[in-house]
Amino acid sequence: MAGLPEKGQQSMFDSAMVESRRQVEICNACRYCEGYCSVFPAMFAERSFSDGSLLQLANLCHNCRGCYYACQYTPPHQFALNLPSALGELRQESWKQLSWPQGFAYLFDRAGVVMPLLMVVSFTFLFWLVSALPPSNGEGFYTFMSHTLMVIIFLPAFLVPLLAVGIAIRRYWHFIGGGRITMAEMWQASLNAISLRNLKGGHGDGCNFEDEDRFTKTRSVLHKMTFWGFMMCFGSTCSGTILHYGFGLKAPYTWYSLPKLLGVPGGVLLCLGTAGLAWIKTKADRDLGHAKIWGSEMAFILLLFSVSATGLMLYAATGSSLVEWFLPIHLGTVLTFFLLTPYSKMMHGFYRMAALIYDQKRIRIS
């Protein structure tokens, strides 16, 4: 495994594994849900389930909950099946076990609501103190904080979490017995991830996340808005970096420049997507997920919303004295987002991509 966790922490992971194995074995005998999502074809291809195969199933699960509402063995039946919850708990416990450094993941698990708030407030205050001592020259945002200082702060804050993500995914790949990846497997998995195929349900009618046995595509649409909004904002940052270092074109940029054409609509999409995901999360049954982490998941969604919202506010305030106040808030939320990425719900995207790649390998071999 990923290290030597405390006895209680390992016990929680083992308990989640035992319960997932019990439920998966019953599902494998029933096979009623064969066409629901990628979890069930992968499940029905197995005769017995190793820890690695169970972890793979857990990360294939998109928590659409269609299988729960279709199942005849849910409570009050004596089998008491709740596969979305069982796989959700195993998924969450495994992310902590595979994380690096492992201690930070367990700290975030215990204080996933308070920690982001404290970090945003603390970083915002520090950035406000720095902006109170502005550089001798600069334009736009750099009037309040030098470009060099921003690079010194944010470059390691991006690279170190990226390293932590890479170590965790490598550990996951080793745990499930992954091997070499072909371009075809990578390509098909990417298409499945981008299209959110597993949120469309077995018949393409959507999932049951927020409205019990009624199918809806709302969650799929909101996820796509969040994903593409995030990617456009990331593209905006990358294009600004290329313009700055590659062509000597420094910020601030005009509204028709690539950083603005990507960043503004991307920020709007990210705002709408995350706000919508937070809304449907309040409508969904908490018992069909890992109820213990509901608060930390919601806190992270709201953090991602805050990143986009404060970015848009900062853009709208350009040229006014409000920049002095909005810039520290935006930088504080962005820095918090970067540092918490390896231990937050953001990791589900990395693990799910790895699970989709492995599933394509299974399909090719079978």
**DSSP track, 82-104:** -HHHHHHHHHHHHHHHH-SSHHH
Please state, in angstroms and rounded to a whole number, the distance separating the CA atoms of residues 285 and 252: 46
Domain boundary among 65, 98, 131: 98
Q: Tokens 């106040």, residue?
A: 325
Looking at the structure, tell me whether residues 331 and 254 fall in a common domain. yes
pTM: 0.92
Task: Let me know if residue 42 belongs to a domain.
Answer: yes
- Residues 30 and 113 both lie in one domain: no
On the question of pLDDT at 356 being above 50, the answer is: yes
Q: What is the pLDDT at residue 5?
A: 47
The residue among 98, 125, 156 that closes a domain is 98
Query: pLDDT tens digits, residue range 237-262?
Result: 999 999 999 998 888 888 899 999 99
Verify that 42 and 142 share a domain, yes or no.
Answer: no
Give the dihedral of Cα atoms 249, 255, 257, 261; nearest 10 deg: 140
245/181 same-domain check: yes
61: in domain? yes
From CA 142, how far away is CA 331, in angstroms rounded? 13
Per the CB < 8 A criterion, the answer to whether 277 and 63 are in contact is: no
- Residue 33, in any domain of the structure: yes
Write out the residue range of the structural domain in which residue 57 sits: 7-98
100-158 pLDDT, tens per residue? 999 899 899 889 899 999 999 999 999 999 887 777 676 767 788 888 899 999 999 99
Q: How far apart are CA 73 and CA 81, in angstroms?
A: 6
What's the structural domain count of the chain?
2
Residue 2: inside a domain, yes or no? no
In a domain, residue 54? The reply is yes
Q: Are residues 355 and 259 in the same domain?
A: yes
Question: Which residues are CB-neighbours of 303 under 8 A, at least 6 positions away?
Answer: 116, 120, 333, 336, 337, 340
pLDDT band at 282 (very low <50, low <70, confident <90, very high): very high
